[in-house]
Structure 1
Amino acid sequence: MSIAITSHVIDISPSIRERIESRFEKLNRRQIVLINPHVVIQKEGLNYLVEAKAGVPNDTLFAQAEHEDLYAAINELGQKLERQLGRYADKPLSQRAQVAQPVVEEDED
């Protein structure tokens, strides 16, 4: 998977790239195609702000995390994306469960 990683504040080292790619590999376990994932790393004061945006069929996932430690912010971002992807994956199942129940009408004699 090709992940676009940009930052105007820091240089993207191989270890940072590896950490981000490993978090996105965990997202692939759901077997939902991520379209053009993009991660932006910024620095606000003493904290790192990490934002990610990825398209999924008929929707878009977006999450951001802020922490003093860049790697902790990346982990938090990955957890937020996992929760969103879980809701996205379970959404059709809950909608089908509501639709699948037939409405029974009683005939009055």
Structure 2
Amino acid sequence: MNLTITGHHVEVTPAIREYVNTKLDRVIRHFDNVTSVNVILSVEKLRQKAEVTLHVRGKDIYVESEDGDMYAAIDSMADKLDRQVLKYKGKNHDHGHDTLKHQQPTEL
């Protein structure tokens, strides 16, 4: 898995990089088909914004979050991403596995 963390108008310090890494590890544990993750941290006046694009086989999952504090924005982004990954994983695993409902009854 490739992890890219970039900052727009903000310096990505080792502490922020480690914080993002630990938050994303929690999310990626749910799903092992992640090919790459792009994280963009940006600051515009009083808005702290964190956005992530998670590339999985067949789909890209995009989440963004804004807050007054960068760490709070990263927390919110990780929570939203966790919900999206679980939703995608549920849809992906539930697809087409319910064969008992679709079988025709047999005549005796």
Shorter-normalised TM range: 0.7 to 0.9
Does residue 1:96 correspond to 2:96, yes or no? Answer: yes
**Can you give the 5+ residue segments of structure 2 that lack an aligned partner in the other structure?**
none
Identity %: 24
CA offsets, 1:37-81, max 9 Å, x none? 101111122011111001111111100000001000001000111
TM-score (normalised: structure 2): 0.86
AA aligned to 1:67 is D
AA aligned to 1:36 is S
**Can you give the 5+ residue segments of structure 1 that lack an aligned partner in the other structure?**
none
The structure whose Rg is larger is 1
Q: Which runs of 4+ in 1 moved over 4 A?
A: 97-100
TM-score (normalised: structure 1): 0.85
* Offset, 1:27: 1.5
How many residues align? The count is 107
- 2:6 aligns to what? 6
Instruction: Give the 5 Å matches for 1:1-109.
Output: 1-98=1-98, 100-104=100-104
* Offset, 1:35: 1.8
